[in-house]
Amino acid sequence: MKLVAALIVSCAAVAFAQRKIKGGWGGGGGGGGEPTEFRGTFNKGMRKVQKEVLARINELRAEHGVAPLDEDEQMNRYAQAWAKYLAKTGRFQHRSQRKYGENIFMSYSSDPNAKLAGQGKKAVESWYSEIKFYQYGNNYNPKAGHFTQCIWRGSRRIGTGVARSPDGKVFIVSNFDPAGNMQGAFRKNVPRPQGGTQQQQMIKG
């Protein structure tokens, strides 16, 4: 019997929560030396992950009465450039300079034949599980930043990238435009789930 080790991690730091700039908290444009555009071709597995992320986030946004996100190909390439960088370097971190909101996710499998299918849904559910830390009406909570970015009413577009490292790690990066997690705007942009109950469970199956 072959045993397969697995690990799932979401980055604890969330985009647009560190530095205050005009209009909110966040970073600026592309930073020095950081890749900003993927010039290759997305394969079927990568496209599958992008569709999984988009579909699952929009399902969850609908539960909160928030409009769906539109997929943006330029943002897909922006996110893919960073996912490839993380896979190449083995680092697990946000861009130092960001023009979009950013959620990142990492999983690991010791199975060299593990497929990418299903990783997109896992990433979104990992981010959304932070709902258990969120108190509606309050400002930014670093423990819930991935959740609030996923649900953020003001965000309209999303781009997603995915890359696998030689040692079996899968990195997923999703960027959001306009960025969420703006101080002073949480009450307006993070509504409760419809139905009148605050979901504190992890994820619906």
Question: Against a cut of 0.95, is the pTM above it?
Answer: no
Identify whether the C-beta of residue 26 lies closer than 8 Å to the C-beta of residue 32. Answer: no
Q: Please report the pLDDT score of residue 97 as a whole number.
A: 82
Is 5 inside any structural domain? no
CATH code of the domain covering residue 152: 3.40.33.10
Is 201 inside any structural domain? no
Identify whether the C-beta of residue 40 lies closer than 8 Å to the C-beta of residue 87. Answer: no
What is the rounded distance in angstroms from the CA atom of residue 175 to the CA atom of residue 125?
Answer: 16
The range of the structural domain enclosing residue 177 comes to: 10-17+43-189
Is 29 inside any structural domain? no
How many separate domains does the chain show? 1
Q: What digits encode the pLDDT tens for the residues 153-181? A: 999 999 999 999 999 999 999 999 999 99
Is 34 inside any structural domain? no
Asked if the model's pLDDT at residue 18 lies above 70, the reply is no
Neighbour-count burial for 7-46, b at 16+ CB within 10 Å, e otherwise = eeebbeebbbbeeeeeeebbbeebeeeebeebeeebeeeb
Is 35 inside any structural domain? no
Asked if the model's pLDDT at residue 14 lies above 50, the reply is no
